[in-house]
Structure 1
Amino acid sequence: MEWPAEKIRSTFIRYFEEEKGHTHWPSSSVVPHEDPTLLFANAGMNQYKSIFLGTIDPSAPMAKLKRAVNSQKCIRAGGKHNDLDDVGKDLYHHTFFEMLGNWSFGDYFKKEAIRMAWECLTVVFGLEPKRLYATYFGGDDVAAPGVPPDLETREFWLEFLPPERVLAFDAKDNFWEMGDQGPCGPCTEIHYDRIGGGRDAAPLVNQDDPNVLEIWNNVFIQFNRDSGGLKELPSQHVDTGMGFERLASILQKKMSNYDTDVFTPLFDAIQKEAGCAGYEGLLEADRDVAYRVVADHVRTLSFAIADGAVPDNLGRGYVLRRVLRRAVWYAQHHLEAPKSFLHKLVPTLADSMGEAYPELKKSLATIQGVLESEERDFNRTIDKGARFFAKRAAESETVISGADAFHLAATLGFPLDLTQIMAERKGMTVDVEGFQDCLAQDKAKNLEALKARKAARQGAADMSFGAEQVATLSHLEKTKVDPYSATRCVELEEEAATVIAIFGGRVRGFVDEATTLTGYCGLVLDATSFYAEMGGQCADTGSLFVEDSEVFSVEDVQAYGGYVVHSGVAVKPLAVGATVSCRVDYDRRAKIAPNHTMTHVLNFAIREVLGDGCAQRGSSVDDERLRFDFAYDKALSKEEVKRIEDIVRDNIQKALPVDAQNARLADAMKIETLRSMRGEIYPDPARIVSVGVSVDALLSNPSSVHCSAELCGGTHVKNTKDAVDFALLEETAVSKGVRRIVAVTREKAAEARATAVAAKDRIARLALEEEEEENNNDVSAAKKLKDLRLSLDAMVMPAVDKLSVRESLAELVEKVKKAQKAEAAKAEKAVEAEFEALAKAGGGAARIDFGANSKLFAKMQKSILSKLAPDASFCVVSSDTAAVDKKFVIYTIVSKAHHDDKDLDAAAWARAAADAAGGGRGGGKGLAANVTVVVSDTTDLAASIDAAIEAAKTYLLDNNITK
């Protein structure tokens, strides 16, 4: 192949780097952790935003860039730029893509950018000039008011193209903005006609014709859009973006991006893992659409997860969950792929793109773990959702109601866009307006329910069961508990539970019915999938449903004497004997489970590093973090903390299976590696949770297997890779002989590491700033160090990293102090020389700048003035040129001879000088005085000082003292 993907990428970068003097600046993370205005990096220019706005720290390495080039990872699956709905339907849209880009930061502008683009395409890549068309901004009074048509760009293009191939468009096509706010400007696009042959393709430009496609876009960053509208930027910049995948299709002579070697390895992997027919490249065939969707979406998910994001129910996490569920649905319905399929494609992606983006290989196990876990969660409801949709589609035949679409989204995990895809396939539509109404009603209901729950909790009765309550229920069978099956009670007809008792909220006793007026109360079910708080793990939350209607909000779950009490508030009336289904908040549990499993692995790691004497003293696990207490009589060293964290992370990266089985307690206790909590009473049979080794293997060889194994009834992940990452945040003392570790997993661990990287980068920039000669005594550098030191405690980052940051910060602070001390000593010598010169002259009035440093003045007075002649008096005016405020100090010293013989008064002398400069405040005695003069913003400081000195000299003359 003449132009394989890797060669295209490297050729572009080499051209701008070696021939056009650009710096190769690596792609930023596709997850913009420090830019809350973006869900994902959606363009190459995102990381240079602060340069365009002029807000970048001048000491930052990036601030020195004049020209840059790279291939930027981009995702457009949400926000202003969203290509999610188009993926699969055509042959050139993607949610993840690479943007080949070159940038000018206040350097070259329109003419040079256009010339480079033309040369790169026609000379370097050899594209036929007759197939190229250029567009420019033709004006748009609505979207870009006050911005004139970009006729200058048109004139530059006429040097290369005839007028009929230089076309004007409005802001929709030729005024580029990265988001609702931010840097923006008119742009010029280059479009390529795949067909060629001398035809006129001008009418097809910007018409979504698959054979006339945009490949290059030069954005002329001239403005910033904020809440007040468009404002001109102080400098003009160029932001170039070329679609890597589209260029590959042209150079490889393919009519589709998906026919290039960018995608064919993934298509081969899809065919192998799904066992389906091969990709044929047909536009509307369901199987080929599914191929494109799955290949595109697994790229988006893999890069996002590698850069620290995970599917979730909020923000960018929700976007990723939508992307994943679309891919799963297409794979299962049109490729007949098996369940747990997507994660098997990731190694192929890592092999094909890992050289350019090594983070794919580094995070391979993490990516696979997250995808496998998320797909497993969606598979819980996908079949039921498909059946529900088919039933409603058969009843209506034309429209899926808003209520049904909302039920699919809120209860069964089908995003609205997926329901729309399903409806479109059947020639139906979805009542989106009705869906939005249901969504608004649900939000309002949830808000009211939240208020009611808060009020109920504030006056909540005690829901704990003592001997009396347990005895009251003794005629009932104990609650059957199964919190380990994710499918438990998902479907009413298959997994039903019965309300066997209701413990009243406002009156401490059993009642027959709970209503919205009952307040906080407790329900006992004959069966439950909710996890009751125990073993350090917090309780599940969720809801009880009757058919598709929520009747009870579960806020807490506790077990007493074999009965499980679900505490919360009734949303609708609910009586004893009612049949309900349990709807655990599995999204929340998906955050609790990895925290609990990593508590076990942490326990194992602590013993590996510190020895077997570190017995567990307690733990606490919820959806936010994990906490583990253990016996140890001294603080851990930095190296010990790092080794413990590394062992846990290594267990995650190895993607170890997590097995949980019941066994006879006596057999379990024979396992040498087994850890149990001292004083804990375990049931018989007991549940063994083992990491990396099956429970059967442990029972078969109780003395020869070394791994994390504990007696535990909690909920856990299926594989350590589901934890994604682990960050040990704190190691502190709880009491004498007991230490505590606090840690996080999944996206919170990724966020903690991103915070650490940002902090280290700030220190590196400050160190670079300090090393620059002109900044050795920079007050602003010292202030930045102080601000960072003060904010460090509040930063959430791994403990080892925080300690390293503190050490680096302390070293830099000490270095700055030494530099400032050396500079101060140097300045002091200079001041001393000036004082000596004044002393040798026998006194007088002069300017010597040493700030408002009265201690230094006193030192000079003691060491130098004692050497003056008995009749030497002088006035020194000193300012601080580095200070923000405009002020100076007048110091006067009068010899005793002048004071006695000439009646020269130091205070009067200082006031006379100050009055000439506008007046000041101060004081002193007959022989010494000082006055501080504050100069107004409109007054020149130097002129005021000169006036004070002249007045001081005049005062001496007026008192018959000639100096």
Structure 2
Amino acid sequence: MTAAEIRQSFLDFFREKQHTIVPSASLLPQSPGLLFTNAGMNQFVPYFLGTDKAPYSPPRAADTQKCIRAGGKHNDLEDVGYDTYHHTMFEMLGNWSFGDYFKKEAIKWAWELVVERWGVPANRLYATVYAPDKAKGDPGEFDQEAWDLWAALFRGKGLDPRVHIVDGNVKDNFWMMGETGPCGPCSELHVDLTPEGDTHGELVNGDSDLCIEIWNLVFIQYNAEADGSFRDLPAKHIDTGMGFERACSLIQNTKGFTDFSNKPSNYATDVFTPIFRKLEELSGCKYVDIYPSPGADRSAFSEEMKTAIAFRVIADHLRTLSFSIADGILPGNNGRNYVLRRILRRAVRYGRQLGFSGEKPFFAELVPALVGQMGGVFPELKEREAAVRVTLEREEASFNETLDRGLKRFEDALPEVKDHTLSGEVSFELYDTFGFPIDLTELLCADRGIKVNMQRFEELMEQQRERARAAQKSSVVRALDISTEAVTEFVGFESDSCEATVLEVHEQDDSWLVITDTTPFYAEMGGQVGDSGWMKFYGESPPTQGIVNVGRARGFLLMKDNYTFMEEGDEFPKGMHSLVGLKVGLEVDSSRRRQIEAHHTATHLLHWALHEVVSAEAQQQGSSVDESRLRFDFNSAPVTPGQIEAMEEKVNACIAADESVSWSEVPHAEVKERKDVMQFFGDKYGDTVRVVQIGGSPQGLDGYSMELCGGTHVRRTGEIGLFKIKSEGAIASGVRRIEAVCGESAWEHLRETVRQLDEESDALHAKLAAANARLSELGEEPIGAGDPPRIMLAMLTEKGDVTQINHTLNMVRGKLDELREAGIEAEKKVKKLQASAAAKQADAALALLIEKGGPIVTSIESDASLLQELLNGLKKKQFAEAAFLIVDDGDKLHLGSYCGDSALGRGLKAGDLLRELAALAGGKGGGKPDMARGAAPERGKLTELEEAAKARLG
């Protein structure tokens, strides 16, 4: 089978099993904690957490998910090219169940696809199951259920399950989403790729490319609690992942699983061969599928080996970069963007091994081969092909400008190497001057059998970070993201507009970077989002203007690709360079700026109130401010609801007092030792710092809140408006986060809170009314609960007092708690009465049924609770025969089967009996040999079901 056929066969198989086939999620993850989408389950997290309901019927899905593992916790970058199966970008085939099927089906279908449909020899397969080490405090219990299911499958092929099922530890066979949340044991399928296939499982989880894991079945059945305990989830889920490239290697490289004499390799498949053929055409080199021994000295590799590795690295990195760019993630200087830039520069350096000189970019020439191979499955790759090529060409050309000079600097430094270690100074120079990621320098050193002095390199990096922090605190902002000597004066502390002269214009991605000598625009830094606004061009034609966004590119006006040019302004994007030397008008979006300033100043007040109310030892761990909210992280014990209200009241009292907000530029030495001036980096400030103070005499350094801060703020606290904390909670061990809103955003939050409380009130009243109606039917008095007072929207005006608002909200929540308790009490009473009635009804019914003797088949119109009572009664009376019971509650049929000692002796089993008969009415169920339960929706099949049960029980 081709790779495309293997992928399609997987999806078709699970389509047959009633799975909805869903498209791959973007490589840009929804979770802020991830650099890239790194697993198939990422897009389904809300379904596992229960925050969203899976939109599939039945709730099952299957897909192929593009994933990247390069940077962060999961990082395969250093292994790429040196073995047969590691990649930075790969496809993950997966099937998912959201509270539907569980272990039995997942294991059965995995076996059916791999062994029965694809034909993988069962004797080469090994399944791992979770076996906790209780002495080490491992969670959960031995997964006996999974062991039994795999054992039956191996025995069916004449194989000893004690050989082919391997115990796995918590590291390999217990999956957790995080420190808390859904988790559970997993079962992996490994394939023995040795020539004889007779290792008896000794290589499983041994990090050998002769025994690889191809499929992981995760059984999400627990929730990890904050106290370290694990409770059973009400709904259990299946989360699986199969390495697509590994599956292709297994199927394509073994001649129909008859010849394992050559080591199967992911790279020896048509996933990669089209790229290799194009690379051979461009380079004139020949690819040979050879691999170094694990741990081999890289400095001793032959040229043929180095060439083979270069082919694999370039092909892998091409896939990672092309798919990322197609999803809108571009190479850059920060976070995930820098990871991509590192990967591209590694690929360009490996290109030198294949003879690419750098005079003409080669990397983008490979894109059509990749698009031809993958564009049908991932249409975004085809749609964005031109953008992918342009980006790769630009990045490669940019790096080539310094690569040769950097390589020469590296070679010049080699004679100075001592103790087989390259100095940290040279490594830092290669990074800072020539753009060499440190892992690229390590790679160059490994090729020559030397190391890098990483300790000294990190020291020099930290010194550079200190200089950058100091620069951020001054009011003169230097352009740092491209090569320039221009200096931009920031005047935005005092003005929302200014006239400026254009110094430089640079084209970057789909945007223009315009550098002016003066700017009122605040660039994103220190947790405050950047400004936006307008730039007016003056010339012979009427003034035109474009949308301006200022981001991390400090000192630049970032003209995005959605510039709005008016009149005859369309010539400006094409002729932007002609603006150099001209005067332009710059104007900040002042409405947005005022909201940002309000939230930033409120952050200072919150920090002050936190020290006043919670603890003077609480330290800031980070913050983020924009026009719609503020976020403040700090280390502390949990904050109580009373402390939250106290902080709100203190902040709002300061707002009501309309205190002055001022700032001063002072020598750091004057405030360095002052305990009343908040500063977060000790000595890592510049000589001059900016102190923002609230209260006291303006610029007198005598306010009650004083912090070193380079952001923008309101002039008086009264401009902030209402302050309201939306949430407080833990984000890491010992670290808390507060999210809050000000002004109109606060009122909007309160209006949404009112709406939610009203909905909750309606739902609780409806629930109580239903329970009381049932009590009335049973002849009991209903349980009363007073109506909670409605919060009227009219109350939420800007004249509202936060103390009164909190008092009202707390009173309503208290009433809702009373209502909730009343509903719970009423439902408990209903269940108790129903159980009592069912027990009496069961006793009477059983007496008549048992009196007849022999097997029992009967149907009764009653509440579902009767069924369990009947089954319990049969067991209590030690009924020896078999029984099949049907309770019709008017909505569906509730089914129960029972097998006493005599029936069990004849080979009858309650669980088998129930599954067989329930299917006749579209139902399902299960249980133990002596007792089982289920349900069926097709009430019209009642008579047919009874007749079939009588015939089956004889």
TM-score w.r.t. length of structure 2: 0.52
Find the aligned partners of 1:846 and 1:213 in 2 and give their Cα distance. 62
Alpha-carbon distance in 1 for matches of 2:546, 2:94 = 53
Rg larger in structure: 1
Q: 1:674 to 1:185 in 2, by over 3 A?
A: closer
Task: Note if contact 2:503-2:517 (Cα within 8 Å) is conserved in structure 1.
Answer: no
User: Structure 1 residues 181 and 617 mapped into 2: Cα distance closer, same or farther (>3 Å)?
Assistant: same
Residues 224 and 419 of structure 1: is their aligned pair in 2 closer, same or farther, counting only changes over 3 Å?
farther
Aligned letter for 2:400? N
Q: Secondary structure at the match of 1:343?
A: helix
What is the SS of the residue equivalent to 1:159?
helix
User: Could you say which residue in structure 1 is the equivalent of 2:119?
Assistant: 126
In the alignment, the residues of structure 2 paired with residue 793 and residue 125 of structure 1 have an alpha-carbon distance, to the nearest angstrom, of 61
Pick one of 390, 394, 397 that aligns with 2:415.
394
Shift in alpha-carbon separation, 1:174–1:709, aligned structure 2, 3 A:
closer
Partner amino acid for 1:404? Answer: V
Q: Give, as a single letter, the amino acid of the residue that structure 1 aligns with 2:579.
A: C
* SS of equivalent residue, structure 2 residue 32: coil
SS of 1:77's partner is coil
1:271 aligns with 2:291: no
1:807 alignment partner in structure 2: none
Structure 2 counterpart of 1:836: none
Return the alpha-carbon distance in structure 1 between the equivalents of residues 143 and 273 of structure 2. Answer: 41
Alpha-carbon distance between aligned partners in 1 of 2:544 and 2:819, rounded to the nearest angstrom: 67
Q: Please report how far the alpha carbon of residue 115 of structure 1 lies from its aligned counterpart in structure 2 after TM superposition.
A: 1.2
The one-letter code matched in structure 2 to 1:282 is I
CA separation in 2, counterparts of 1:337 and 1:690? 33
Q: Counterpart in 2 of 1:336?
A: 356
Read off the aligned partner of 2:2 and give its amino acid letter.
P
Partner of 2:704: none
Cα distance change on mapping 1:709 and 1:44 into 2, 3 Å: closer
| CA displacement at 1:264 relative to structure 2 | 0.8
Residues 242 and 171 of structure 1, relative CA distance in 2, 3 Å threshold: same
Once the 2 structures are TM-superposed, how far is the Cα of residue 287 of structure 1 from its aligned partner? 0.9
Aligned to 2:385: 364
TM superposition shift of 1:690: 7.6
Q: Which amino acid aligns with 2:287?
A: Y
Q: 1:145 and 2:142 equivalent?
A: no
- CA 1:791 to 1:613, structure 2 compared with 1: closer, same or farther past 3 Å? farther
Q: Give distance in 2, aligned partners of 1:941 and 1:21.
A: 38
Deviation string for 1:726-749 (max 9, x for gaps)?
xxx999999xxxxxxxxxxxxxxx
How far did 1:367 drift?
1.7
- Alignment partner of 2:344 out of 324, 329, 338: 324
Give the match's secondary structure for 1:134: strand
Q: Structure 1 residues 270 and 673 mapped into 2: Cα distance closer, same or farther (>3 Å)?
A: farther
Partner of 2:37: 41
What CA distance in whole angstroms lies between the structure 2 residues aligned with 1:941 and 1:5? Answer: 56
Return the structure number with greater relative CO, CA threshold 8 A, min gap 6: 1
CA deviations over 1:159-184 (Å, ceiling 9, x no partner): 12321121123233222345677643
Q: Which runs of 5+ in 2 are unaligned?
A: 155-159, 255-263, 293-304, 490-498, 508-513, 583-587, 594-625, 627-725, 727-740, 747-751, 770-781, 793-810, 827-954
Aligned-pair distance for 1:120?
0.7
Task: Report if the CA contact (8 A) 2:789-2:812 is conserved.
Answer: no
What's the CA shift for 1:39?
1.1
Q: CA deviation at 1:8?
A: 0.8
Which residue in the other structure is 2:652 paired with? none
With over 3 angstroms needed to count, the CA separation of the structure-2 counterparts of 1:108 and 1:275, relative to structure 1, is: same
CA shift for structure 1 position 109 = 2.0
2: distance between equivalents of 1:852 and 1:227?
35
What corresponds to 2:333 in structure 1?
Answer: 313
TM-score by length of 1: 0.52
What is the aligned partner in structure 1 of residue 175 from structure 2? Answer: 176
Conserved? CA contact 2:515–2:557, under 8 Å: no
Match of 1:702 in 2: none
| 1:191–1:216 Cα contact (<8 Å) kept | yes
**Counterparts of 1:289 and 1:854, CA distance in 2:** 68
Q: Which residue number in structure 1 is paired with residue 55 of structure 2?
A: 61
- CA drift of 1:383 comes to 1.6
Partner residue, 2:544 = 616
**Aligned with 2:404 (options 368, 379, 383):** 383
2:266 equivalent in structure 1:
257
Aligned counterpart, 1:281 = 289
Contact 1:536 1:620 in 2 (8 A): no
Q: Is the 2:356–2:362 Cα contact (8 Å) retained in structure 1? A: no
User: Map of 1:690-709 to 2, 5 A cutoff?
Assistant: 691=574
Partners of 2:444 and 2:377 lie apart in 1 by 37
Query: For residues 107 and 854 of structure 1, do their structure 2 counterparts lie closer, same or farther at Cα, with a shift above 3 Å needed?
Result: closer
User: Residue 61 of structure 1 aligns to which amino acid in structure 2?
Assistant: P
Q: Distance in 1 between matches of 2:325 and 2:505?
A: 27
Preserved contact between residue 312 and residue 320 of structure 1 (Cα < 8 Å): yes
Other structure's SS at 1:346 match: helix
1:257 counterpart letter in structure 2: N
User: Over residues 233-259 of structure 1, what are the superposed CA-to-partner deviations in whole Å (9 max), with x where a residue is unaligned?
Assistant: 623222111110111111112621111
Q: 1:674 to 1:613 in 2, by over 3 A?
A: closer
Aligned counterparts of 1:318 and 1:336: Cα–Cα separation in 2: 24
Alignment match of 2:48 (pick from 43, 47, 52): 52
Which of 10, 14, 17 is the aligned partner of 1:16?
Answer: 14
Secondary structure of the equivalent of 1:61? coil
Q: How does 1:890-929 map to 2 (within 5 A)?
A: none
When the two chains are superposed, the root-mean-square deviation of aligned CA atoms in Å is: 5.6
Deviations 1:616-660 (Å, cap 9, x if unpaired)?
A: 26886755699899xxxxxxxxxxx9xx95999xxxxxxxxxxxx
Quick check: 1:403 aligned with 2:446? no
Q: Measure how far apart 1:138 and its partner are.
A: 2.4
- The residue identity in structure 2 corresponding to 1:53 is L
Deviations 1:916-945 (A, max 9, x none): xxxxxxxxxxxxxxxxxx9587667999xx
- What's the offset of the Cα at 1:315? 1.5
2:22 maps to which residue? 25
Structure 2 counterpart of 1:41, which letter?
A: T
Give 2:81's match in structure 1, choosing from 88, 101, 121: 88
- Paired with 2:70 and 2:791, the residues of 1 have a C-alpha distance of 63
Q: Is the contact made by 1:130 and 1:196 (CA closer than 8 Å) also made in structure 2?
A: no
**Corresponding residue to 2:579 among 704, 707, 712:** 712
Specify the SS of the correspondent of 2:365. Answer: helix
- For residues 315-368 of structure 1, the C-alpha deviation after alignment (integer angstroms, 9 at most, x for no partner) is 211211111111111112344364422222222211211111101011112222
Code of the residue aligned with 2:18 in structure 1: it is: G
Q: Distance in 1 between matches of 2:55 and 2:378?
A: 22
Asked if 1 retains the 8 angstrom alpha-carbon contact of 2:784 and 2:822, the reply is: no
Q: Alignment partner of 1:172: what SS? A: helix
1:188-227 aligned at under 5 Å gives the runs: 188-224=187-223
2:310 to 290, 298, 302: 290
Pair 361,646 (structure 1): closer, same or farther in 2 beyond 3 Å? farther
Q: CA deviation at 1:557?
A: 7.7
Shift of 1:539: 11
Q: Is this contact kept in 1: 2:194–2:210, CA < 8 A? A: yes
Tell me if 1:429 matches 2:396: no
> How far is the alpha carbon of 1:443 from its aligned partner?
3.2
Q: Distance in 1 between matches of 2:785 and 2:205?
A: 70
Give the secondary-structure state (helix, strand or coil) at the position aligned to 2:435: coil
Could you say which residue in structure 2 is the equivalent of 1:7?
Answer: 5
Cα distance in 2 for residues equivalent to 1:145 and 1:411: 49
2:245 aligned residue: 245
The 1-side partners of 2:149 and 2:249 are apart by: 28
Query: For 2:279, what is the secondary structure of its paired residue?
Result: helix
Secondary structure at the residue paired with 1:160?
helix
Relative to structure 1, is the Cα distance of residues 396 and 108 closer, same or farther in structure 2, using a 3 angstrom cutoff? same
% of aligned pairs identical? Answer: 38
Contact 1:302–1:346 (CA under 8 A) maintained in structure 2? yes
> Measured at CA, do residues 331 and 229 of structure 1 come closer, stay the same or move farther in structure 2, by a change above 3 Å?
farther
Matched residues in 2 for 1:441 and 1:627: separation?
28
Partner of 2:605: none
- Amino acid in structure 1 at the alignment position of 2:446: E
For structure 1, list consecutive stretches of 5 or more residues without a partner in the other structure: 464-482, 490-496, 506-531, 541-554, 560-584, 630-640, 649-671, 677-688, 692-707, 716-728, 735-751, 753-782, 784-789, 796-812, 831-844, 856-882, 889-933, 944-963
Residues 548 and 557 of structure 2 are in contact (CA less than 8 Å); yes or no, is this contact kept in structure 1? yes
Distance in 1 between residues matched to 2:542 and 2:227, nearest whole Å: 61
Provide the C-alpha distance between the structure 1 equivalents of 2:791 and 2:402, rounded to a whole number of angstroms: 77
